[in-house]
Amino acid sequence: MPEIPIEKFDALAHFLNEAGIPFERNFSIKEYTSFRIGGTAEIFARPKNAQQAAVLQKSIFTDRIPHYYLGGGSNILVSDNPYAGVVIYYDAGEDFLILEQSADFLRVSIPASARAPLAGKRISALGYTGMEFLTTIPGYIGGAVIQNAGCYGQELCDITESVEFCLNGEVITIPKEEADFSYRSSRFKTETESLITSLTVRLSRGDESQIRSRIEDYKQRRLNSQPRNRRSAGSVFKNPHSSVSEKKAWQLIDQCGLRGTVAGDAEISSEHCNFIVNRGKATSQDVYSLICLIEETVYSQTGIRLEREVVLLGDF
Ligand SMILES: Cc1cc2nc3c(=O)[nH]c(=O)nc-3n(C[C@H](O)[C@H](O)[C@H](O)COP(=O)(O)OP(=O)(O)OC[C@H]3O[C@@H](n4cnc5c(N)ncnc54)[C@H](O)[C@@H]3O)c2cc1C
């Protein structure tokens, strides 16, 4: 990628100031990722609403400035190398808006910047069912849309009514049917220029004690199955389609003898071997080398190509 002259970033910084969009220069991204890994971004911008996001997007698209979108950082591995571009961290807060509420159902609009577990808890507490699974998935609502996040037999698409996003400086809303949701994917996985700004969900009235006990059950299942006190980005690989293998990704990794393998300060978790954990001082290269090792070993021993769930940002 051609180097971007520093004057372009200075001009963008001036533009952001004029537009009242908060930003920082040479900003360390690491604390914004669940791995606690990552270098600096030349500009880290925090648009506060869809209109600010649209204005910013238009400017960086016109000036062809490299950029990426960051949510809760719980499904990404960010390179340790400085990023000569703009990280856009949509920052519209946590407050959801009730659009319609009846004895039977609830329609609610949630900003992409809301933490998914918190939104799940707060909305479930209103006595409507469908968001319980989100209470155990780290990250923000925007990231959950991109990945069609899911667990325990439920996925975000089950409750989605519509998605709002910015593209080419315009704010667009599409119904769920146009979002092309599938297992850990949506159309936004390939249309990477779209910035998700909000999600509208529709939930049914539920029994409050059952909602509470489902949330507690999911919490316990997590505690029993995932590495504790270790930084990670959750499952690194998607489970293969059942037509390819009946085995889950972790079973393939395990059968290849990779559980517990270490590179630098990163480890293929001995508790859940589809997780790679940062033992404290892991670099992005430590984690990346384990990702490549898993891919190569599983392919050479089983003929199955695992597909990454974790997204890589920056140079590797
Ligand atoms: C311990 C642990 C357990 C996990 N368990 C699960 C699980 O059970 N099920 C599951 O599905 N996932 C799981 N994950 C992965 C992750 O939490 C989810 O995929 C989550 O939805 C990602 O959201 P995020 O905001 O953190 O996205 P990020 O990691 O910030 O970003 C992920 C991708 O989405 C893009 N993106 C983020 N926000 C936006 C936006 N507003 N607009 C456009 N693009 C955007 C990024 O550029 C990147 O490509 C787990 C992660 C951890 C650490």
Q: How far is the CA of 237 from the centre of ligand 1 (A)?
A: 13
Residue 95 binned pLDDT confidence (cut-offs 50, 70, 90): very high
Q: How far is the CA of 74 from the centre of ligand 1 (A)?
A: 5
Query: Quick one: pLDDT at residue 157?
Result: 98
- Which residues approach ligand 1 with their CB closer than 6 A? 34, 68-76, 90, 112, 137-140, 142-144, 146-147, 149-151, 184, 195-196, 226, 232-234, 311
Which amino acid residue places its CA nearest to atom 2 of ligand 1?
234
Q: In the chain, where are the structural domains located?
A: 6-89, 97-216, 227-313
**What integer is the mean pLDDT of 113-125?**
98
- Tell whether the model's pLDDT for residue 12 goes beyond 80: yes
Which of 33, 48, 74 is the best mutation target for the ligand 1 pocket, counting ligand atoms within 8 Å of the beta carbon and taking the most?
74
- The second-level CATH assignment, the architecture, of 97-216 is 2-Layer Sandwich (3.30)
Residue 293 binned pLDDT confidence (cut-offs 50, 70, 90): very high
Q: How far is the CA of 143 from the centre of ligand 1 (A)?
A: 4
The CATH number given to 6-89 is 3.30.43.10
Hey, which CATH number is domain 227-313, 3.40.50.1820, 3.90.78.10, 3.40.1180.10, 3.40.50.1260? Answer: 3.90.78.10
Query: Quick one: pLDDT at residue 1?
Result: 61
Q: How far is the CA of 234 from the centre of ligand 1 (A)?
A: 9
**Contact indicator for 39, 1 with CB cutoff of 8 Å:** no
- Tell whether the model's pLDDT for residue 254 goes beyond 80: yes
pLDDT tens digits for 34-88? Answer: 999 999 999 999 999 999 999 999 999 998 999 999 999 999 999 999 999 999 9
Which of 37, 56, 75 is the best mutation target for the ligand 1 pocket, counting ligand atoms within 8 Å of the beta carbon and taking the most?
75
Closest ligand 1 atom to residue 227 Cα is 1
Which of 31, 32, 146 is the best mutation target for the ligand 1 pocket, counting ligand atoms within 8 Å of the beta carbon and taking the most?
146
